[in-house]
């Protein structure tokens, strides 16, 4: 099934393989598209992937998580982004852009010394950062920032936009009982914790119109004591589906969680597809396509996930850093990605650009 075409919301994918959003460190210092970034997407397109999702693009300067991060928080970025989508479309590729605000996982050193913003002032034990709780006005400003960024994404020619609602960044923080301790419109119970993503979704939909695919990547599980769990996550996804969401990508974890989003040492088939059970729970309650990410390495496991109806699309990050043409290699008979999940590619501080350190 892996190489059967798949269509949803006007997107016609040549196969079931997705490049999950992967921060590349290839934008310039000011967040503009570079030739190096375009080359990467040309390689991925040539490599046979069905759908590509860009590394997370910044919707507001207060949410910066990293250097050389792609930006979309101003109209000045549209021209460069348009060059990127044009290059991909020229080669018949399909590309979505992922939108992020880093929330409490942003770093003061990247924010001119300001405290990172979050739903609540909950100390992050991994970064040792105490964020500042956002005011109501600031929250609405960020809702608008997501809406504006989605508009820019569409104008720039992206085929779809994905909300980064996973991994403990701002949208995920509002959804998580661990990071959202508010008692107002934005938090206090599950209903109110849903409001931020709901308003973000509605602001984006208003800007892009009804006929444009909007997706979310979200945590099925924060992998944290007191965090979001799969039942609540499925209810959130179902409500977004009701509002008109087009697809959901299922992930998990945050900086603070002991088990990670990108789990290391995926060497045996049993270690693969580590969010598979969660994907299954999403599939059994939703009608929109479910994209599963997390440790997908061998063709047999991917086929099994699809055959069993545990997901509609298979998403990968680390294997495609090492082998951007992995889809073509699979199609030619390769059984397993070369990636050994050493996580060297995540050593953002050391690497000039994100790449596979095993190849050097």
Ligand X SMILES: Cc1cc2nc3c(=O)[nH]c(=O)nc-3n(C[C@H](O)[C@H](O)[C@H](O)COP(=O)(O)O)c2cc1C
Among 101, 164, 283, 299, binds ligand X (CB under 6 A): 164
CB 6 within 8 A of CB 15: yes
Among 104, 178, 217, 276, binds ligand X (CB under 6 A): 217
Q: How far apart are CA 289 and CA 249, in angstroms?
A: 8
Torsion from C-alpha of 8, 272, 37, 89, nearest 10 degrees? -20
Among 59, 236, 354, 356, binds ligand X (CB under 6 A): 354
Rg (CA), the chain: 19
Question: Which lies closer to ligand X via its Cβ, residue 52 or residue 145?
Answer: 52
Among 2, 11, 15, 20, binds ligand X (CB under 6 A): 20
Q: In the bound complex, what is the minimum distance in angstroms from residue 323's beta carbon to ligand X?
A: 12
Q: In the bound complex, what is the minimum distance in angstroms from residue 251's beta carbon to ligand X?
A: 5
Question: Which lies closer to ligand X via its Cβ, residue 188 or residue 264?
Answer: 264
Q: In the bound complex, what is the minimum distance in angstroms from residue 166's beta carbon to ligand X?
A: 6
Q: In the bound complex, what is the minimum distance in angstroms from residue 293's beta carbon to ligand X?
A: 4
DSSP secondary structure letters along 217-270: EEEEE--STTS--HHHHHHHHHHHHHHT--EEEEEE--TT-SS-SS-S---SGG
Number of chain residues interacting with ligand X (CB under 6 A): 25
Q: How far apart are CA 19 and CA 41, in angstroms?
A: 10
Q: In the bound complex, what is the minimum distance in angstroms from residue 336's beta carbon to ligand X?
A: 13
Check 23, 41, 77, 169 and give the catalytic one: 169
Using rule CB under 6 A, residue 51 touches ligand X: no
**Distance (Å) of CA 340 to CA 148, 263, 323:** 39, 11, 12
Residue 81 tokens, joined: 């982004």
Using rule CB under 6 A, residue 22 touches ligand X: yes
Query: Is 274 annotated in the active site?
Result: no
CA proximity to 6, closest of 305, 302, 317, 290: 290
Q: Which of residues 277-296 bind ligand X (CB under 6 A)?
A: 293-296
Q: Tell me how crowded residue 295 is: count the other CB atoms within 10 A of its CB.
A: 23
Q: Which of residues 308-347 bind ligand X (CB under 6 A)?
A: 316-319, 345-346
Q: In the bound complex, what is the minimum distance in angstroms from residue 342's beta carbon to ligand X?
A: 10
Question: Which lies closer to ligand X via its Cβ, residue 98 or residue 180?
Answer: 98
Using rule CB under 6 A, residue 63 touches ligand X: no
Question: Which lies closer to ligand X via its Cβ, residue 166 or residue 224?
Answer: 166
Using rule CB under 6 A, residue 98 touches ligand X: yes
What value, to the nearest 5°, has the Cα angle with vertex 285 and ends 282 and 287? 95
Q: How far apart are CA 86 and CA 96, in angstroms?
A: 13
Q: How far apart are CA 288 and CA 295, in angstroms?
A: 22
Q: How far apart are CA 215 and CA 205, in angstroms?
A: 11
Using rule CB under 6 A, residue 215 touches ligand X: no
What is Dmax (Cα atoms) for the chain?
Answer: 55
Question: Which lies closer to ligand X via its Cβ, residue 131 or residue 168?
Answer: 168
Residues that are catalytic: 169
Q: Given the rule CB under 6 A, which residues bind ligand X? A: 20-23, 55-56, 98, 164, 166-167, 217, 251, 261-262, 293-296, 316-319, 345-346, 354
């Amino acid at each position: 099934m892996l190489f059967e075409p798949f269509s949803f919301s006007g997107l016609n994918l040549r196969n079931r393989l997705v490049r999950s959003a992967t921060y590349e460190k290839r934008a310039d210092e000011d967040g503009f598209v570079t030739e190096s970034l375009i080359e990467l997407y040309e390689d991925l397109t040539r490599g046979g992937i069905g759908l590509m999702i860009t590394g997370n693009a910044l919707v507001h300067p207060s949410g910066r998580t990293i250097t050389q991060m792609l930006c979309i928080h101003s109209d000045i970025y549209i021209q460069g982004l348009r060059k990127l989508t044009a290059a991909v479309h020229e080669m018949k590729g399909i590309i979505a852009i992922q939108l992020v605000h880093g929330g409490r996982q942003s770093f003061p050193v990247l924010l001119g010394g300001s405290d990172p913003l979050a739903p609540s002032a909950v100390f992050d034990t991994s970064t040792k950062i105490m964020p500042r709780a956002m005011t109501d006005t600031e929250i609405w400003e960020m809702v608008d920032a997501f809406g504006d960024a989605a508009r820019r994404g569409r104008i720039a020619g992206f085929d779809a936009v994905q909300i980064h609602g996973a991994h403990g960044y701002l949208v995920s923080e509002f959804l998580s009982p661990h990071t959202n301790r508010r008692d107002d419109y934005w938090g206090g119970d599950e209903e109110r914790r849903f409001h931020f993503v709901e308003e973000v979704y509605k602001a984006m939909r208003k800007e892009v119109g009804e006929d444009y695919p909007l997706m979310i990547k979200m945590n099925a599980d924060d992998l944290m004591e007191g965090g979001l769990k799969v039942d609540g996550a499925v209810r959130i996804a179902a409500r977004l589906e009701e509002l008109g969401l087009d697809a959901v990508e299922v992930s998990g974890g945050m900086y603070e969680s002991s088990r990670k989003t990108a789990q290391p040492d995926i060497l045996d088939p049993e270690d693969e597809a580590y969010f598979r059970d969660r994907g299954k729970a999403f599939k059994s309650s939703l009608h929109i396509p479910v994209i599963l990410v997390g440790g997908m390495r061998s063709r047999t496991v991917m086929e099994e996930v699809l055959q069993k109806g545990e997901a509609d699309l298979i998403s990968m990050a680390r294997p495609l850093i090492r082998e951007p043409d992995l889809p073509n290699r699979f199609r030619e008979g390769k059984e397993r990605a070369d990636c050994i999940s050493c996580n060297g590619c995540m050593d953002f501080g050391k690497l000039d650009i994100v790449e596979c350190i095993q190849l050097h």
